[in-house]
Amino acid sequence: MKFYTQTHKYYCGIDLHARCLYVCILDQQGNPLVHKNINATPAALLKIIEPYRDDLVIGVECMFSWYWVADLCREQQITFILGHALYMRAIHGGKAKNDKIDSHKIAILIRGGTFPEAYVYPREMRGARDLMRRRIHLMRKRSELLAHIQNTNSQYNLPEIGKDLRRAINRDGVAERFADPSVQKSIELDLNLIGFYDQQLSKVEWFILKQARVYDQHSLLLLRSVPGIGPILSLVMLYEIHTIERFPTVQDFASYCRLVKCRKESAGKNYGTSGRKIGNAFLKWAFSEAAVLFLRQNPQAQAWLKKLSNKHNKARALTILAHKLGRAVYFMLQRKTVFDQQRFLNS
């Protein structure tokens, strides 16, 4: 957890919503100077902070509508910090909770040096990253349709389809396997939607790949040097990491990717682990996928995993492999070197 500890003349905490803002501004002694609900517009925000812009810091909790506030502060050269929602327990743990109380608590956290920071992703890449996330969402919807076809086939106890339905050429005649016309219509609907998703996803992937080449072609090639990390996983990693320099240590990077479990201890007693949802879910997915794909057509890696599975179970061995890949990617991007499988498996 990283806290914002810099001192300022004025501290502004904003309880942010889609259509309104509750603004609280404190001075260095903690006295409230402003405590008011305003419309969520740039003009209204600039007007209320105008008398206090000399050495002002603005902090908001990370939720879906923070983009415009961060961009406005950047344009106006005002210090902006983003609060990590899962770490801001002081806001959600009170007996009473409303916008006025929340904005005051945010301002107090900033002033006291206990405001947990989240990363403010730069505007220039934010749209492409969100498009990449949208692509993952659509791909999962497509996978649900493929799974529904297979489940329906099993539901009616029909022989296995025996073909990879991800390929359009293998989808001919699938609906005709079912005798009931209603079931046929249901499967045809699934197949039509899958075909539509294929077209749209192809366009999205082409667009994102073109943007990524302009942004950082070298890092993209470094990521693809890892067996199992192809065009899509490399794009996910590139846009979710943004810059490896924002992680001081490899431990920080592994924690951000949800590749480690955090122990809970007190007075020498172990209370298990926690914090599974703190970190980047997309990087967790990417490295989990990369671990499985790393093993395909890779006898050396398969032998290494089998040896590790004898010591642990297979699921645990795959988790270790994903963590190991995460560490390797960190040092590759930091040192600008390609992947060395022999060194990776021997370390």
Average pLDDT over residues 174-189: 95
Domain map of the chain by residue range? 3-118, 124-216, 233-264+274-346
Sheet holding 3-4, edge to edge: 3-4, 115-118, 79-83, 56-61, 10-16, 20-27, 32-39
Mean pLDDT of 137-145: 96
Arithmetic mean of pLDDT, 201-227: 86
Quickly count: other Cβ atoms within 10 Å of residue 344's Cβ.
Answer: 19
Domain 3-118 has CATH 3.30.420.40: yes
pTM assigned to the model: 0.89
Q: What is the pLDDT of residue 116?
A: 93
Q: Which residue has the tokens 């010591």?
A: 311
Q: Note the Cα 317 to chain centre separation in Å.
A: 24
Listed in sequence order, the residues at least 6 apart from 123 whose beta carbon sits closer than 8 Å to its beta carbon are 67, 70, 71, 74
- Closest of 326, 293, 308, 283 to residue 227, by C-alpha: 293
CB atoms within 10 A of CB 325: 24
- 42 vs 57: CA distance, rounded Å: 16
Q: What is the 3-state secondary structure (H, E, C) of 162-179?
A: CCCCCCHHHCCCCHHHCC
% pLDDT > 70, the chain: 99
What is the average pLDDT value for the chain, to the nearest integer? 92
Maximum Cα–Cα distance across the chain = 78
- Which region among 31-35, 173-177, 263-267 has the lowest average model confidence (pLDDT)? 263-267
Residue type, 68: W
Per-residue pLDDT tens for 280-305?
999 999 999 999 999 999 999 999 99
Query: pLDDT class for 211, splitting at 50, 70, 90?
Result: confident
pLDDT at position 93 is 73
pLDDT in tens, 19-44: 999 999 999 999 999 999 999 999 99
Task: Kindly tell me if the per-residue pLDDT of 214 is higher than 70.
Answer: no
HSE-CB of 173 using CA atoms within 13 angstroms: 5
What is the mean predicted confidence (pLDDT) over 204-216? 80
Confidence class for position 269, pLDDT limits 50, 70, 90:
confident
**Which of 10-24, 86-100, 193-207 comes out lowest in average pLDDT?**
86-100
Cα separation, 234 vs 222, whole angstroms? 9
